Amino acid sequence: MILTGARKSGKTTLLSRLSPAGFRLLGAASPRQCAETDSEWISIDEIGYPETVCPEYCDEILRLMEKKRLIAVVRTQTLPFLEELCRRDDVFLVDLDSPFGNPGCVIMASGLGRRFGDNKLMADFRGKPLLQWTLDATESIFRLRIVVTRHAAVRELCRRQNIDVIFHDLPYRSDTVRLGLQAILPDIDSCMFCPGDQPLLRWDTVASLALSAFHEKEGIWRTAFEDAVGSPVLFPAWAFPELLTLPEGKGGGFVLKKYPGQVHTTPVRDKYELMDIDTPEDLTFLAEQSLPAQ
């Protein structure tokens, strides 16, 4: 993984203050020493102009990448070696100034809850409305986020938090998809559709999904635990026309089945993240489960 960004501009490292001869002597030795350790991962903070003018150091970094998994902070500078690093096929690049790009998020909150017997999205789950867990898991990641619902109580919950809402009474899942996506176009370059009844979904899972989609922009990305795939699902811009014209009653699964070769998965750490709530028994069961700490 390579992290780039304009931050830390005031930081001066010891190696930056060395003379060119000293840098060649001490700086180039550091990656060599790291390559001989037992650790699987090596972290470098940071690589910028002083490092790139030392060919010996650059060569050692490339050798290190053949032996270890590397996390490196790279300055946002137009320098040949830094550009070479960021273009490598084996590099996962994260821009710290804009890590997720411009994704949108449609939270699907229009279910009638027939099996639950009531509006399940406002049911208490560990001291909060069920939907609130989805709102928290999708916070501060997306360029635009909107909740699509037919429930007045959901609308009021979102309005109190200044979250955009579409209130409707149309019957089909395809209506929910279309209304949500239309509302946030054209200001997004991808869109995640997230169910509102998946309370153990984690913020870091959603962030990982968005990072993966930004890194591989043409793929459809969804969550998975081992061989079981689930929601949420993030679609690239090329899928928007199909999502806007879904057959009556169909959802995003229609597009997933049509383009299986474009579907990629991001793993979750616990199978309960992928479980939704259809009945009061589901609510009780999931409330009793625990997940690894955030």
Domain of residue 212: give its range: 103-287
Q: How many helices (H) and strands (E) does the chain have?
A: 12, 13
Of 95, 117, 146, the residue that ends a domain is 95
What are residue 26's phi and psi, to 5 degrees?
-95, -40
**Could you check whether the bond before residue 232 is cis, i.e. omega within 30 degrees of 0?**
yes
pLDDT, averaged in runs of 10, over the chain (294 residues) = 47 47 73 88 84 86 90 84 86 82 96 84 95 97 97 96 96 95 96 97 95 92 95 97 96 96 95 94 92 61
Q: What is the pLDDT of residue 22?
A: 66
CB 153 within 8 A of CB 126: no
149 and 84 co-located in one domain: no
Q: What is the pLDDT of residue 6?
A: 44
Q: Is residue 159 part of a domain?
A: yes
- CB within 8 A of 123, min separation 6: which ones? 116, 129, 130, 277, 280, 283
Residue 144 half-sphere exposure, CB side, CA atoms within 13 Å?
A: 17
CA atoms of 89 and 208, how far apart (whole Å): 19
Of 55, 73, 95, the residue that ends a domain is 95
Predicted TM-score (pTM) of the model is: 0.82
Q: What is the pLDDT of residue 19?
A: 62
64 and 120 co-located in one domain: no
151 and 61 co-located in one domain: no
What are residue 133's phi and psi, to 5 degrees?
-65, -35
Of 35, 60, 95, the residue that ends a domain is 95
CATH at residue 66 = 3.40.50.300
